[in-house]
Structure 1
Amino acid sequence: MGVPFTFIHAADLHLDSPFKGLAKVPAVVRERLRESAFVAFRRLVELAKRENVDFVLLAGDLYDAADRSLRAQLRLQRALTELAAAGIQVFAVHGNHDPESGRQAKLDWPEHVHIFRSGDVECRPAYTRSGELAAHVYGISYPTPAVTENLALRFNKKDGAPFHLALLHANVDGSAGHDNYAPCRLEELTASGFQYWALGHIHDRRILHEYPHVVYPGNLQGRSIRETGAKGAYIVTVSDAGSVLMRFKDLADVLWQEIKVSIEGIEREQELKNRLMQAVEELRKDADGRPVIVRVQLDGRGALHDRLLQPAVVEEWLDELREWLGAPEEADAWVWPESINVRTGCLLNLEEAANEEGFLGELLRQGLAAGGQAEQSKELLEQALDRLRSHPKVRDWLQQSSPELRAEWIRRAMELSVSLLREDETA
């Protein structure tokens, strides 16, 4: 039997993230985003004090860059000093964004703060606020940005504590879309004897396993449209018998969201405007007073499809939507449309049109045939994108794209072709 205790598990703070690609957004949006990671971390500190947690675990990428800014280092020092003054221990590791090899200012850290070094896995005692031993915390930092070794294999429990927590920045089971640093397998973690693996690196919130717990809390603040929805940390309560209760707390300062608006059943632009405004206002209402950056996806099949494909039409819709919503300077809870993507379809039944005689029918027959066969669809796209294949990202996309995705792109190309050919006929 142990003692009950509570801790916060957070990761991927990315303090002072530059938020690239913001040159064309209003200054108030740009400045709010640049400060958002600090605000989210400030909320984490306030949460730890309000919940009277015993300690905090930070699982890597505290800073956004190896050569961390002085501003980020001083703000982290101030926040951790505040936690230490409240009797809250902090255990942290460095990840691939902020390895030990990066440039660091010479700063003093409070006694209650322990940042694990690279080299060997360290074991440190974690205490309750009343001074009782709660757990052993183990961790190791990245020495350099690209660590390809399975660091999880270095973790070994030491006797003397009722609960054992492992703090690691890693990619479990080769999660797609993330650099495969410190790669390890879930079965290795669950068989290690540790009761809780506090992970970082994956920016999505994931509980990979329970008893033992293997957990990614995600990052504190979304940094792009690829990181949508609530972002924050877990409050973890452990009973004296070792049972684990987890509560997620949304700490993000700015929300990134994607919404879908269908054109089905509408024929007039006014109806589309009404749907867009309704969707965005619902988004604003659900944001709990926080600003939102949103990407709108138009989907469904409808009469407006051909008009949405006209040159510059989508940009006009985007400009007008921003105008209707008002300037971000005029409200704290602003909504900024980042882009509008058109994924709509025409009302024409391609399968029926493929039975027609002539060029259009033949084009559709070949397209439908290619879309239904994996190898043929890949060959058709490679031919269509031949001039672009020298570009590494295009080449990788062709290699990695699924048959379903290729079929979808071929279908959309056919619909665009139909729209353009019909436009020529009526010109």
Structure 2
Amino acid sequence: MTQPPKKTRKISPDTLTFIHTADLHLGSPLTGIRAMDESMAEKLIQASYCAFDRIVDLAIRDEVDFVLIAGDLYDSQRQQIYEQLKLLHALERLNGHGIMVYIVCGNHDPHSAWSRSIRWPGNVHIMADDRPEVVFFEKDGEKKAAIVGVSYPRSSVLENLATTFPEKESGWPFTIGLLHATLGSTSEHVSYAPCSEENLTATGYDYWALGHIHKPAIVRQADPTIVYPGIPQGRDIGESGPRGCYHVAVRSDGTIEPTFVETAEICWETATLSIDGIDTLSDLDVAILDTLDDIQETRTGSQVCCRLTLTGRGEVHRDLSRVKGAIDDLADHLREVGSEVYIDRIIDQTALPIDREALVRREDLIGDILRISDNLQQDPKAAETFVPLFKDLFSDKRGKKCDPISPEEIPDLIREAETYLLDLLQPEERV
């Protein structure tokens, strides 16, 4: 297993340091792995545990003061013995290095579902579930931080828990709110313990360690600093991109420095390759491998699992569409050639090349479509015309789960519509 990066700068003795993580989802059933080769399937099964091991390694290597885990350590209320003992041993490693761990339970692992047969080591403090609990972290006999947190008593918590947190008292040191919650509105997750930024700032705390949203984000830089670390290990292609935790340093002058550290054992990525100008399978093979190499260079230390979409128009489309299963054969070949990037799936959105200049001069429906497309793409007011037309699409229950279309996306949508209509109206082009 690749180790986390070594310390890049010396930490002053009077600096408070901690790791902020959340949403470990230990025991999460990763989807689609059975169709993959056996070795990749095993890597995916172990990925969430490996990511947490990297977090523990980072905490030990950087000699942090404590670790914060903002909910959803387990993926299910019915925890298996395997994930319980894996978590126990990881926390015992931190205990062996004198590193405290403060935990709140989330919607996937409410406090009531935690096993009573596991004796957690003395460095672990799981926050109460009836009201926010205040715990002080002491170092050299001095209170260095106040951690205020509350666990979920049940899986579905729909009330605003942030409003139950006490205000920071005058004698408290650097104060951290530890909460599994939905800040603002989101279409990606169920709004458990919904709250506003104003709810958090009203407490007077210095840092809010949040969990529940799987995409890492520094929501607010200061007064207070509000952070979502995201999920340390993406579970499927929908959780692509960098995944990790935050290493936070609090300087003696009160400056807060959160640094994102990637921890994913498997990094999910999406990529698009146009076949414009690609005439042969040999050229396509080289172009894909070059694309995969470029992806791997940006993800040193992680196994990359990529979903590749082929777009554009080129003669190689004939080879891709001539035989049923050609795309699956191409994916199988790429998995076998030794590329460090594992192909999850290839999506074919290609078509045969066309003489667009000749088509645009035609006095028929195809010519009309192309001329209208050109005019719309050149019209700066086209976006103002189209955006309101999509309003109803995003007003129903399903539409609210999608991001609304922005004016900047309109030209691309027009080009996609043009390609789609040409494919429908030129059946002779299909092989």
Question: TM above 0.5, one fold?
Answer: yes
The code of the aligned residue for 2:105 comes to: H
The code of the aligned residue for 2:405 comes to: S
Structure-to-structure mapping, 1:145-184, within 5 angstroms:
145-156=155-166, 157-184=168-195
Deviation at 1:314, TM superposition (A): 2.9
Look up the match of 1:331.
Answer: none
Q: 1:340 aligns with which of 331, 346, 364?
A: 346
Q: 1:344 to 1:424 in 2, by over 3 A?
A: closer
Q: Which range is displaced more, 149-158 or 351-360?
A: 351-360
**2:245 paired with 1:233:** yes
Q: Give the SS at the match of 1:276.
A: helix
TM-score with structure 2 length normalisation? Answer: 0.82
* Unpaired segments ≥5 residues, structure 1: 327-333, 382-391
Residues 194-246 of structure 1: CA deviation (Å, up to 9, x unaligned): 00000111111111111220011111111111222332211111122211122
Deviation at 1:401, TM superposition (A): 6.0
Residues 116-143 of structure 1: CA deviation (Å, up to 9, x unaligned): 1212000001123x34311100001112
Look up the match of 1:218.
Answer: 230
Residues of 2 paired with 1:171 and 1:21: CA distance? 28
The code of the aligned residue for 1:219 comes to: I
Residues of 1 paired with 2:92 and 2:82: CA distance? 15
Look up the match of 2:6.
Answer: none
Deviation at 1:357, TM superposition (A): 4.0
Q: 1:114 aligns with which of 104, 125, 131?
A: 125
The code of the aligned residue for 2:38 comes to: A
CA contact (8 A) 2:33 2:44 kept: no
Structure-to-structure mapping, 1:7-18, within 5 angstroms:
7-18=18-29
Look up the match of 1:415.
Answer: 419
CA contact (8 A) 2:360 2:366 kept: yes
Residues of 2 paired with 1:351 and 1:186: CA distance? 54
The code of the aligned residue for 1:402 comes to: I
The code of the aligned residue for 1:321 comes to: L
Look up the match of 2:405.
Answer: 402
Q: 1:182 to 1:305 in 2, by over 3 A?
A: farther
Q: 2:143 aligns with which of 129, 133, 138?
A: 133
TM-score with structure 1 length normalisation? Answer: 0.83
Alpha-carbon RMSD? 3.5
CA contact (8 A) 1:370 1:376 kept: no
Look up the match of 1:297.
Answer: 309
Look up the match of 1:19.
Answer: 30
The code of the aligned residue for 1:139 comes to: G
Q: 1:37 aligns with which of 41, 45, 48?
A: 48
* Unpaired segments ≥5 residues, structure 2: 1-12
Structure-to-structure mapping, 1:378-397, within 5 angstroms:
396=399
Deviation at 1:19, TM superposition (A): 0.5
Q: 1:426 to 1:301 in 2, by over 3 A?
A: closer
Q: 1:135 to 1:403 in 2, by over 3 A?
A: closer
Q: 1:400 to 1:368 in 2, by over 3 A?
A: farther
**2:214 paired with 1:203:** yes
Residues of 2 paired with 1:354 and 1:376: CA distance? 28
Q: 1:74 to 1:68 in 2, by over 3 A?
A: same
The code of the aligned residue for 2:268 comes to: W
Residues of 1 paired with 2:430 and 2:72: CA distance? 58
Q: 1:379 to 1:38 in 2, by over 3 A?
A: closer
- Aligned residue pairs total 408
The code of the aligned residue for 1:10 comes to: T
Q: 2:154 aligns with which of 135, 144, 148?
A: 144
Deviation at 1:289, TM superposition (A): 4.2
CA contact (8 A) 2:335 2:343 kept: yes
Q: Give the SS at the match of 1:96.
A: coil
Percent identity for Structure 1 against Structure 2: 36
Q: 1:403 to 1:288 in 2, by over 3 A?
A: closer
**2:92 paired with 1:71:** no
Residues of 1 paired with 2:217 and 2:412: CA distance? 29
Q: 1:98 to 1:365 in 2, by over 3 A?
A: farther
Deviation at 1:247, TM superposition (A): 2.1
Q: Which range is displaced more, 220-229 or 185-194?
A: 185-194
CA contact (8 A) 2:217 2:230 kept: yes
Look up the match of 2:5.
Answer: none
Residues of 2 paired with 1:312 and 1:378: CA distance? 36
**2:32 paired with 1:28:** no
CA contact (8 A) 1:370 1:380 kept: no
Deviation at 1:280, TM superposition (A): 1.4
Residues of 1 paired with 2:20 and 2:429: CA distance? 62
CA contact (8 A) 2:200 2:208 kept: yes
Residues 84-104 of structure 1: CA deviation (Å, up to 9, x unaligned): 232111101111111124362
Look up the match of 1:322.
Answer: 335
Look up the match of 2:92.
Answer: 81
The code of the aligned residue for 2:335 comes to: R
Q: Give the SS at the match of 1:180.
A: coil
CA contact (8 A) 1:3 1:134 kept: no
Q: 1:161 to 1:343 in 2, by over 3 A?
A: farther
Q: 1:369 to 1:309 in 2, by over 3 A?
A: farther
Residues of 1 paired with 2:156 and 2:129: CA distance? 13
